[in-house]
Structure 1
Amino acid sequence: MLKKPLTAVAVASLMTLAACGNSAGSGDSGTGADGVAMGPGVTDDEISVTVISDFSGPIAQGGIAGSLGVEAKIDQVNREQGGICGRKVVVDKRDTKYDPQITTQQYRAAAPKNLMVAQFVGTAGLNAVRANIERDKMPTLSASINTQTLDLPNVYVAMPPFEVELINGLTWAAKEAGASASKKVKVGFVTSADETGKVYLDALNHAAKATEGLEVVAQPTYTNADTDFTAQVNSLKDAGAEIVMLGVTPAQIAGIIGQSAQFGYKPTFVSSSGAWASSLGKPLKGLLDKYYVSGGYGTLNDDNAGIQALTKARKAYAPDAKPDNFEVGGWINGTVVVEALRKACEAKDLTREGVMKAMTGLKVSFDDILPPIDLGDGNSIVSFQSRINKIGADGVQEPVAEFFESEAAKSWDAARRK
């Protein structure tokens, strides 16, 4: 599958890596006894896939929970169906500590041993190895669900991106606040001071312009090193922002909401799904009445076949694990991996090229965890739907509205693709 071409800088990096003899290769490992072409990580008995994530760094809780979702899905298929294509599927976990340099080392170590990346966490890390992923023809599912990763070569995003969640969240909050031509509602945005933050700001400003009655009054930024958010909170408070959209990670949520409460500032906060971790429920107890999550997929509190299957599989695989909604995203990616491998097996082609062919136009249903998707050409947003959730007593999200999509999200995507 042809994805977005590399920049000149990336091409130069690729050539340098090749000259250094670091290529993981994408060639066949031969043909199995069953006549199936086999790529790296595939034998007659096993299919090895890797999860490259933060298991001990600043977003480790999300990384661990997300990986657990993938692992539980793979374990379910191994236990109940004997694996895929007569082979047990093995998950090779690699800890990046959310550091691009360590990510590069871990990717290079994992690449020769695995057929595909079942889940990759970290936009900066993905950008650090984008040339490697292109060179190795490595099928990669991203848990950093933003349009920056969607545009990378051989990288697939199987859920609505954070930008769609934020846009939908803002349109919902505006409606709830009664924003109209005759009633102006002031909004503020908090995003990171990097390229990812700029993309989130672009999406949010587009939504604000497309939604009648909104006035953007503050747009403070932060760095990953920040632990004190006094300046950001004061900027929002002084500007009178009634709605605050949070394009952040779990590492910033406690500081922003906690310090806002200290200063007596109580706006409506709305974040994307990537900002909330259930462990924050206890330290922020009593401060979350006006905090909402716009999520592109369901929650562990949902009563549907998909969540029931996930819960059963997690209890069988890791009975002592504490539930966290990042599991759901991992389960979604794990489901895509399973369906792609099955389709590749049917074509008798368990090479990386075979997996990418299988992923092109792959249609996947998730038993109501989120609406069915079509991966299409791998470059397009798979869904513009999200749902608004509040935080329950256990820190797990609970829905307050049904899935919906906004015209602002669609028009933003059309504009960015021009």
Structure 2
Amino acid sequence: MLRKAAPALAIATMLTLTACGGSASGDSASADGVKTGKGVSDSEINLAILTDYSGPLAQPATSGSIGLEIKLDQVNAAGGICGRQLVLHKMDTKYDPQVTTQQYRAIANKVVMIPQLIGTSSLMAVKDSIAKDDLPTFSASLNTAALKLEDVAIYTPPFEVELINGLVWAAQKAGASATNPLKVAVVAPADEYGTGYADSVKFAAEQIPGVEVVASPTYSPADNDFTAQATELKNSGATVVILANTMAQTAGLVGQSAQLGYSPQWIGYSGAWNAALAKPLAGLTDNFYVSASYGALNDDVQGIKDMNAALAQYAPNEKPSNFQVAGWLSGTATAAVLEKACENKDLTREGVLAAMQDLDIDFGGILPTVNLGTGDSIVSYQSRMNTVNAEGLLIPTTDWAETDQARAWGEANGF
């Protein structure tokens, strides 16, 4: 949710201060007539990424960071934004809320925006500080909980939409009906966000004749043994399992289930898969699908072409990963926002937040164009289904589509 307009009294106060030669926020006009504040000088626009470089999600999170970095490198090579170079401060949260808080405090006063913040728990740890500091932030945790936070926005459809669309596709593929029932299970973390994921799947299941959720095992982020969850899934008789977990749990869940002789159709959302899983799960992904709200490395669209060119130029030794695509999207969204703020001649935090309002963002075909709105609504209900190849890369099997069940869920929850 992007920050609402300041009350009239507050505006009057700021105008009075300005008239007296002062500023309520310390903002000032630069030599080129662009209003600047924290994190912005005549030559630089400072940004921060808070992500997991050395914790349990280090591999995919680092890939996402690289996608963001190469997009910013490309922008800088073209002259930057408003004649200023984009400088990225990389902060390692270790996927730990306490560390995230420390890293946020260390960098908050030095930047104008956070273009990528990884992890729902990390985001929630600093949400109040983000609101207090009026610090524009793009959440890389595509959870609808982020839509309710002040000064935070999501530039793609959220995980819940991916999960619901994945379930609808599976039901259609199986021909589910009252006379041809389909048993489904959903795996999610044992916290309020996991409960939200599972509830979205259950909501959709109730809208589809013949679909029944027969099990919903949970896990803790510290879990390494998934025997109990795999056993519950097998005993439930579910032929489709919806994975609302991170990629850190996918190998254990699928691998342990295989050891028990259980091989359902697996459907993960975008956060449940990474190309690095291909090797440990070799031979076990023939019936594995990913419901994703953004495109893949093999897509023949301009956005992917641009990303691959930037990857070859600025990070040639990096192995391809779809999390790089996610990072590229955050960079694309950030550049679009800053360009708009530049057009408005206001690169303060307030100016960046204003630029985010009702902004159309073209991702070059990697996903359909979205409008950020006011930051408190779902930007799109479209996703598509993918298989994974031997290298772990996503291969699309459907076109972009939205489902009535996803939109009904969004409306029921005020999005």
Same fold judged by TM-score > 0.5? yes
Residue 17 of structure 2 aligns with which residue? none
Residue 31 of structure 2 aligns with which residue? 33
Residue 115 of structure 2 aligns with which residue? 118
Q: CA RMSD, aligned part only?
A: 1.5
- The Cα offsets for residues 7-56 of structure 1, whole Å up to 9 and x where unpaired, read as xxxxxxxxxxxxxxxxxxx9345221111111211110000111110011
- CA distance, structure 1, for counterparts of residue 336 and residue 67 of structure 2: 15
- The Cα offsets for residues 374-401 of structure 1, whole Å up to 9 and x where unpaired, read as 0001101001000101111111111111
Aligned residues: 398
Distance 1:313 1:397, change over 3 A: same
Is 1:226 the counterpart of 2:208? The answer is: no
State the TM-score, normalizing by the size of structure 2. 0.94
Is 1:282 the counterpart of 2:283? The answer is: no
Unaligned runs of 5+ in 1: 5-25
Residue 358 of structure 1 aligns with which residue? 355
- CA distance, structure 1, for counterparts of residue 227 and residue 280 of structure 2: 18
Task: Note the 1:3-402 alignment, pairs <5 A.
Answer: 3=3, 27-79=25-77, 81-402=78-399
- The Cα offsets for residues 307-332 of structure 1, whole Å up to 9 and x where unpaired, read as 00000011111110111101111111
- CA distance, structure 2, for counterparts of residue 114 and residue 339 of structure 1: 17
How far residue 181 of structure 1 moved from its aligned partner, in angstroms, is: 1.7
Q: Secondary structure at the match of 1:169?
A: helix
Residue 19 of structure 1 aligns with which residue? none
Q: Is the 8 A contact 1:3 1:379 kept in 2?
A: no
Residue 12 of structure 2 aligns with which residue? none
Q: Is the 8 A contact 2:39 2:111 kept in 1?
A: yes
How far residue 110 of structure 1 moved from its aligned partner, in angstroms, is: 1.1
Distance 1:242 1:320, change over 3 A: same
- CA distance, structure 1, for counterparts of residue 295 and residue 37 of structure 2: 34
- CA distance, structure 2, for counterparts of residue 102 and residue 44 of structure 1: 32
Q: Secondary structure at the match of 1:269?
A: strand
Q: Is the 8 A contact 1:28 1:37 kept in 2?
A: no
- CA distance, structure 2, for counterparts of residue 159 and residue 375 of structure 1: 9
How far residue 3 of structure 1 moved from its aligned partner, in angstroms, is: 4.6
State the TM-score, normalizing by the size of structure 1. 0.93
- The Cα offsets for residues 98-149 of structure 1, whole Å up to 9 and x where unpaired, read as 0000000001111111110010001111111111000000000011001011
Unaligned runs of 5+ in 2: 5-23
Distance 1:150 1:2, change over 3 A: closer
Aligned residues: percent identity? Answer: 53
- The Cα offsets for residues 229-261 of structure 1, whole Å up to 9 and x where unpaired, read as 111111111110000001000110000000111
Q: Is the 8 A contact 2:3 2:134 kept in 1?
A: no
The residue type paired with residue 263 of structure 1 is L
